[in-house]
Every structure is written in structure tokens, then in C-alpha cells.
Amino acid sequence: MSFDPGPALEQLFDEYSQRARAIRHDLGLPHNADFAEQAQERQNDEVLQALLAEAEAGLRQVGLARQRLAAGRYGLCLRCGEPIEPARLQAWPAAECCLACAERGEV
């Protein structure tokens, strides 16, 4: 493996954590008393909820990648067991599968 995944995973974890924290903050803000404004704010809340779900999914993926790293299984495809391409890991350090399995939609 030509790069150290630890710092890359840590950076991803920090980015997702900051994003989730900011979204939770925004979702906790009070709504406007004006009905028309409330309707718009509730639509915005739906978008924020979707963004929060994405951030939380990213946190889970990074957490699982960190577990694989600690267990010595980082960089191995969860589907076929073959090594994941180094370029793929550099592009997405939390990758769970090799490119061939990802293209087949197997993981």
C-alpha cells in the first residue's frame, strides 16, 4: 500500500463529523412564526435531513474502514477478498470493495 490510510480516514471522519454537527445545529434552529416562511423552512429541513443521513452513512463507512485497518483487513474487498486497487483507496479511503465488484454492484 503506497499511502497511509490512517490519516486519510481520520480526515474523512473529521469532515463528516463537522458536517453532521453543522446540520444538526441548523435543524435545531427555531422556525419563523410566519406560515409561508415555515413552509419553506420545513422543506429546507427535509433537505437537511437527507444531508444528515448522508453524513451519518459516511461516518459509518469510515468507522468500518478504521475497524478493518485495526484488524489488518484494510484494503481487501469484502466481496471477493482480493486487494482493492491503491488508486481506489486513495480516492475513497473507506472503499469496501474492488472496482470489479463495485461495478457489478455486489457490495
pLDDT tens track for 19-50: 999 999 999 888 777 767 777 778 889 999 99
Domain boundaries, the chain: 5-104
pTM equals 0.82
Q: How far apart are CA 13 and CA 73, in angstroms?
A: 19
Decide: helix, strand or coil at residue 83. strand
Q: How confident is the model at residue 2 (pLDDT cuts 50, 70, 90)?
A: low
The predicted structure's pLDDT at residue 35: 67
Between CA 76 and CA 97 the distance in angstroms is 7
* Architecture in CATH for domain 5-104: Up-down Bundle (1.20)
Which residue has better confidence, 34 or 6?
Answer: 6
